[in-house]
Amino acid sequence: MMNSPTLAVFTKNRLNPAYDAARVAADRVAAESGLRTAHYVPDTPDDVAEQKALVTQALAARPAGVVFNPADDQQMVEDLDRFAAAGIPVAVFINRMSGPALTFVGSDDVAIGHGVAKALIDGLGGKGRIVALDGTPTAPTARDRGKGLRQAVAEHPGIELLAARVGYLQRAPAREAMAELLAGHPEIDGVWTANDMMAFGAVDALAAAGRRAQVVGVNGLPEAIANIQRGTMLATADFSALNIAAIATRAVLRHLRGQPVPKEIMVPAALIDRGNIGQWTVPMVERPCPAWDEIVR
């Protein structure tokens, strides 16, 4: 069926547990078909130059296919071209990008950003002052989630978006950004963040300042589930990197078997709050990988 028993899997960093889950999913799904995986992860989180060098390494190894999460949706387009020129099929996942890819697998990030914003607004009773921790500007997921937030704010005149900072989708930068926001605004009722890692940074900064605010995130990471249980976060969204990476890997395998693959696959992302948290307490890496027919109908 294949020229090589290996799939090359590209993720942006080793800091975010969501990418740990994505790598596990790719490993499991590839193993089901008797393939191995080779993981390519920049040592410096989200580093474009390193990811480009890793593409060169992968091309030299001649994988059967690639599951690709770009560090930058613009600067990595030429690298998609390099895979295409080598005849290697690529499933792009999580961060959408243009270029000659087999498929894109992700979720509706505008809807996700809007959904967690609506949960925050509802938690505040439709009135209050909020701040935002936006993600890395080069990440389409972050840009789209921010768009969803601002749509939700526009729909609720009782909500004031005081300010926004970039938290780079990581805990430490988000903690620093949140500390700045707390210093500049004596009254903050809610914090919207574009992912859970930044939500954790916001929770850390609030605790350090002795302040309280409702916090929402995205990813459904185990620490977010624990925070919701203890009341330090209000909600998150099950933007499941495990499910998305599993389907992206299945897409490449289907293509290699000569089976059809849609150009775009949207994986559902449910809101998680105290009302439904029970089903999310299983650690992410222990959750089953979805079958193709569960997502693609």
Where does the pLDDT of residue 297 fall: very low under 50, low under 70, confident under 90, or very high at 90 and above? confident
Tell me: the pLDDT tens digits for 183-202? 999 999 999 999 999 999 99
Q: How far apart are CA 136 and CA 289, in angstroms?
A: 28
Q: Kindly provide the b/e burial profile for residues 140-175, where b requires at least 16 CB atoms within 10 angstroms of the residue's own CB.
A: bbbbbbbebbbebbeebeebebbebbbbbbbbebbb
Cβ–Cβ < 8 Å for 247, 224: no
The residues spanned by each domain of the chain are 6-107+240-267, 109-237
Cα distance between residue 243 and residue 267, in whole Å: 7
82, 221 Cβ separation under 8 angstroms:
no
Distance of CA 50 to the CA centre of its chain: 20
Nearest C-alpha neighbor of 290 from the set 259, 262, 248: 248
pLDDT bin (cut points 50, 70, 90) of residue 3 is very low
Residues 100-128 have pLDDT tens digits of 999 999 999 999 999 999 999 999 999 99
87 in Cβ contact with 102 (< 8 Å): no
Alpha-carbon distance of 4 to 1, in angstroms, equals 9
> Which DSSP category does 236 fall into?
E
pLDDT exceeds cutoff 50 at 276: yes
Structure tokens at 117: 């914003």
Over 90: is that where the pLDDT of 286 sits? Answer: no
For the domain covering 6-107+240-267, report its CATH number.
3.40.50.2300
> Looking at the predicted structure, is the pLDDT value of residue 1 above 60?
no
The secondary structure element, H or E, covering residue 247 is helix 241-256
The predicted model scores a pTM of 0.90
Q: Give the residue among 250, 131, 248, 124 at the shortest CA–CA distance from 191.
A: 131
Q: Return the bridge partners of 160, or none.
A: 129
Share of the chain above pLDDT 70, in %: 99
Within 13 Å, how many C-alpha atoms sit on residue 39's CB side?
17
- Show the DSSP H helices in 100-221 as ranges: 109-123, 140-154, 171-184, 196-209
The CATH fold assigned to 109-237 is: Rossmann fold (3.40.50)
Give the span between the Cα atoms of 262 and 270, in whole angstroms.
Answer: 22
**Bridge-based pairing state of the strands 159-166 and 190-193:** unpaired
Q: How far apart are CA 104 and CA 43, in angstroms?
A: 25
Q: What is the mean pLDDT of residues 143-166?
A: 98
pLDDT value at 283 more than 90? no
Task: Give the strand pairing for 271-272 and 236-237.
Answer: antiparallel
Q: Is residue 2 very low, low, confident or very high in pLDDT (cuts 50, 70, 90)?
A: very low
Query: What whole-number distance in Å separates Cα of residue 7 and Cα of residue 141?
Result: 24
The predicted pLDDT at position 33 comes to: 94
